[in-house]
């Protein structure tokens, strides 16, 4: 969340962020409630001072053998007033907190202004587009013909949006996330964790999924737990309510999880195949860093995700997202999109974001900056990105590496994970 003191001093900047990110929250109401709370606190402190002075005076009167009954009654009335103020404060605090949780992060100064994805800016392209001497097939045809993808049986088991991989398809899916985990741990310096696939409400609120996106999440109502929408949630919460030492920073984590989201296929988009699904696999990258280095760390994070696509030999582009296409919690985001010739479109396979201290304030992750005078305690900056997401990366592989006879060549970097298999064929 944003610092309330920042909101007090910069209400117009916050209103602009709310408007640019298409959110709805009454900043004027928040400012008013905050002013009311501070006035109640001030009144309470004044009355407490009077109560303390009155109590001392009562004690003195009794020691002198004088009648203190009138003063006692005054102090009793004063105490009742203080209790009333405290009750009003108790009512205000949750209202203020609820509003704070709905205020989005402020976009960084270099984020492009725009209403939607059409205003995103292409930063760079990588790779050469393959030329086919035949009409490339979409992944659902390739997967069905090769007997590695079975959407009908997946739907029979659970419903649409839950793909079923089998045979070489299942092995290829597993090979991809094992390859990515090995790359990030062995080459990029991340520590692997294998977190729970269920998280509590505090964890979801801490990373910004709640309260905004609760309807999009899969929930275990009886236990008030949520299936993870991304490994960002459990991994970012690893250090919730902790104070780290500055010498520990930066901290890099990577994790594989299955991910679950209800919004797949919304508005009738990409309902065929496995472009939009309710369950998918993903390798996530999470960073806890010093504030001074967070934007440098974001560029490194993007490079780490790009390395996956480069080693797989996939054409991709990097986009800087505009204000209207960014997530609620992000200050700055880059998307990586791989080219899929069978469906003739770019597919997002990674989103890399700097949240600055927005998440850290929600989950209370700080560090003791021993390099500063007095070892000041400050909030860390958090970052995360897909490193990368499936099954869209798998789609790009199937469609880019397909052959005229319907077979698919396995990218060389994955062959050690496939027992040396070079070609998928029926």
20-50 b/e (C-beta count within 10 Å ≥ 16 → b): bbeeebebeebbebbeebeebeeebeebeee
CA–CA separation, 191 and 259 (whole Å): 20
- Judge whether 351 counts as a catalytic residue: yes
Tell which residue, 249, 383, 357, has the closest CA to residue 305. 383
- Judge whether 102 counts as a catalytic residue: no
- The phi and psi torsions of 328 (rounded to 5 degrees) equal -55, -45
- Block residue for tokens 């009512």: 91
Catalytic annotation, pick one of 8, 48, 276, 290:
276
**Secondary structure of residue 307 in the 3-state scheme:** helix
- Block residue for tokens 């592989």: 397
- Judge whether 348 counts as a catalytic residue: yes
Burial of 110 (0-12, 13-18, 19+ CB in 10 A): exposed
Catalytic annotation, pick one of 160, 317, 348, 407:
348
Which residues are within 8 A (CB) of 276 and not within 5 positions of it... i.e. 6 or more apart?
161, 264, 265, 266, 269, 270
Please name the helix (run of DSSP H) or strand (run of DSSP E) that holds residue 260, with its range, or none. strand 251-260
Angle 285-303-212 from CA coordinates, rounded to 5°: 45
CA–CA separation, 115 and 99 (whole Å): 24
- The phi and psi torsions of 276 (rounded to 5 degrees) equal -120, 115
Span between the terminal Cα atoms of the chain, in Å: 52
Catalytic annotation, pick one of 44, 351, 353, 386:
351
Catalytic annotation, pick one of 261, 361, 362, 366:
261
Q: What is the DSSP letter of 117?
A: G
- The phi and psi torsions of 387 (rounded to 5 degrees) equal -130, 40
List the catalytic residues.
261, 276, 348, 351, 392
């Amino acid at each position: 969340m944003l610092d309330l003191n920042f909101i007090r001093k910069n209400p117009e900047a916050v209103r602009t962020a709310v408007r640019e990110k298409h959110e709805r929250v009454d900043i004027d109401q928040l400012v008013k409630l905050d002013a009311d709370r501070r006035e109640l606190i001030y009144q309470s402190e004044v009355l407490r001072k009077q109560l303390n002075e009155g109590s001392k005076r009562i004690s003195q009167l009794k020691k002198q053998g004088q009648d203190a009954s009138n003063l006692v009654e005054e102090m009793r009335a004063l105490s009742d007033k203080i209790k009333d103020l405290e009750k009003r404060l108790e009512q205000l605090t949750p209202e203020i907190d609820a509003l704070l949780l709905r205020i989005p992060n402020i976009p960084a100064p270099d984020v492009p202004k725009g209403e939607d994805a059409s205003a995103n800016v292409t930063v760079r392209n990588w790779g050469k587009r393959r030329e086919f001497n035949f009409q490339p097939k979409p992944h659902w045809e390739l997967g069905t013909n090769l007997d590695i993808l079975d959407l009908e049986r997946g739907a029979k088991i659970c419903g649409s949006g839950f793909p079923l991989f089998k045979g070489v398809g299942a092995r290829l899916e597993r090979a991809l996330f094992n390859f990515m985990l090995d790359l990030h741990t062995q080459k990029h310096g991340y520590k692997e964790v294998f977190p729970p696939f269920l998280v509590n409400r505090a964890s979801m609120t801490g990373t910004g999924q709640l309260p905004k996106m609760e309807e999009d999440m899969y929930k275990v109502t009886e236990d008030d737990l949520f299936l993870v929408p991304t490994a960002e949630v459990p991994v970012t919460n690893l250090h919730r309510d902790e104070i780290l030492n500055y010498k520990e920073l930066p901290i890099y984590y990577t994790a594989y999880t299955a991910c679950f989201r209800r919004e797949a296929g919304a508005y009738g988009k990409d309902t065929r195949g496995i472009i939009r699904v309710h369950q998918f696999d993903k390798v996530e990258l999470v960073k806890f860093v010093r504030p001074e280095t967070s934007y440098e760390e974001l560029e490194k994070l993007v490079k780490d995700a790009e390395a996956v696509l480069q080693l797989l030999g996939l054409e991709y582009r990097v986009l800087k997202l505009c204000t209207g296409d960014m997530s609620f919690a992000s200050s700055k985001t880059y998307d990586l999109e791989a080219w899929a010739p069978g469906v003739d479109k770019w597919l997002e396979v990674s989103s890399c974001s700097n949240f600055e201290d927005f998440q850290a304030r929600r989950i209370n992750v700080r560090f003791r900056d021993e390099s500063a005078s007095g070892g000041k305690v400050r909030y860390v900056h958090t970052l995360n990105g897909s490193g990368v997401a499936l099954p869209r990366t798998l789609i790009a592989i199937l469609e880019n590496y397909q052959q005229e006879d319907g077979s698919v060549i396995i990218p060389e970097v994955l062959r050690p994970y496939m027992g040396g298999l070079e070609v998928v064929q029926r």
